Amino acid sequence: MAEFTMDLNDEQKEVRDWLHGFAADVIRPAAAEWDEREETPWPVIQEAAKLGIYSLDFYAQQFFDPSGLGIPMAMEELFWGDAGIALSIVGTGLAAVGVLANGTEEQIGTWIPQMYGDVNDVKVAAFCSSEPDAGSDVAAMRTRAVYDEAKDEWVLNGTKTWATNGGIANVHVVVASVDPALGSKGHASFIVPPNTPGLSQGQKFKKHGIRASHTAEVVLENVRIPGSCLLGGKDKLDERLAFSREKAQKGGERVKNAAMATFEASRPAVGAMAVGTARAAYEEALEYAKTREQFGRPIIDNQGVAFQLADMRTSIDAARLLVWRASWMATTGKKFENAEGSMSKLFASETAKKVTAQAVQILGGNGFTREYPVERMHRDAAIYTIFEGTSEIQRLVIARTLSGMPIR
C-alpha cells in the first residue's frame, strides 16, 4: 500500500508540467472564445487527443496511479486552464467511471474505448442520472427500465437532465429504476450504444458558467438495448435487489445504488477541479495586486488586499490537501469512515466560489469585465457547489456519517 505523501515523484512532476503547458498554451488562449460561443470546443478536444491527453490510456494511467494523486493532479492543471473547456475534455470520464464502478471486465473493455473514439474521430460520452424532479433526491427517479425476457432486452423510458455531453455523446450511461418500490436501492446503470433508436437530445441549457461544456436533456422513448448492456449483469442485479427487498422487510441497512457509487468515486476529482479554478483566480489576483498602483503604490501594499490574498492561498492549499487525502484513501482501499470524499468536495467547491469572488473584488471594476479572466472564473466556480452533489447534500452526507443518525 502506498504511503500518503505530498511529494510528487519525477514522473508525476513531468506529467503535471506537461498538462500545465497544454493548459497554458492551448486551453487558456481559447477560453474566452468558446465561453462566448457556448459550444463544445471540438478543435481543442482533438488537439488533446493528438497529444494523448484525451484518451483512455492517459486516464487509465492516472486512475491507477498507486498514490491516488494522478487524477486530482490532472484535474487541477486542466481546470487551471479553463473550467468550461476542461470539462469538455474530462466530461467523458464520469461516464467511464460509471462503467468502471459497476461494469464487468468485458463491458469495460467494450464500451470505454468507444467513449473516446480515436485521434481522427474523437467521441464523447455522457453520464445521465439527474432528472427534472430528481436531482439530489435520487429516490424520486422516474426513468424506468423494464426487462423484456422474451427478447433479452431492456426497455428504457424517461427524461434525464443536466447531462454533460447529453445527446451529442457516442455512448450514454443511463441510471434508471428497475424496482420503484425500493427507491434508490432499485436503481441500475445501463449502456445505451451509439445510434440507438428512441434516444434524443432535449433542451440544451444556456448556462451561467462552464459555457464551453455541452449540457442538455436526454429523452428516452422506448429505447431498447440488449440485456448485455445492463452494467454488472442481470445475475448481480437480481442478487442485489433480493438483498435490498429482504433488508427493506426487516427495516435493515442501507444499500448503495449505482449512481451513488459513481459519485463517491468522482467527488475528490470534482474537488480538484475546484482547486484548479481557485488557484487560477488567485494567481491572477496576486499578479494584478503586485502591478496595479493606487495612491502611488501597488495595492498589495495595503493590508486589506494582502490579507485577502493570504487567506485565499491558505484555503486553496487546505482544499488541495483534503482532495489528495480523499484520493489517496480511495486508491488504497481505505473507507471514507468520516465522509472524507464529501469533505474534500465540499471544502474545495466552497473555496472556489469564495476565492474567485475575492479575485473579482481585488481587481475592482476590471474584475467585473470580460476583459479579465476572473469574471469568467467566478461564473464557472458556481457550478462546483451544485453538480455531483450540492454543498447541502455533502453536509448531509458528512453529518449522517459522523452521527450515525438519519438526519434530514
Name the residues annotated as catalytic: 388
Vertex 221 angle, CA 219 and 227, to 5°: 105
Contact between 267 and 274 (Cβ < 8 Å):
no
Helix (H, G, I), strand (E, B) or coil at 280: helix
Tell me how far apart the terminal alpha carbons of the chain are, to the nearest angstrom: 37
Residue 258 to residue 89: CA distance in whole angstroms? 24
Q: Which three cell numbers stand for residue 385?
A: 457547489
Residue 380 to residue 207: CA distance in whole angstroms? 10
Please report which helix (H) or strand (E) contains residue 395, including its range: helix 391-403
Residue 137 to residue 400: CA distance in whole angstroms? 16
Rounded alpha-carbon distances, angstroms, from residue 298 to 15, 291, 303, 305, 359:
36, 6, 11, 10, 16
Q: Which amino acid makes up residue 180?
A: P
Q: DSSP characters for 54-100?
A: SSHHHHHHHHT-TTS-HHHHHHHHHHHH-HHHHHHHHTHHHHHHHHH
Residue 228 CA from chain centroid, whole number: 26
Q: Which residues pair with 403 in a beta bridge?
A: none
Q: Which three cell numbers stand for residue 20?
A: 500545465
Q: Which amino acid makes up residue 127?
A: F
Rounded CA Rg of the chain:
22
Residues in the chain: 408
Please report which helix (H) or strand (E) contains residue 340, including its range: helix 340-363
Residue 254 has a CB neighbour count (10 Å cut-off) of 12
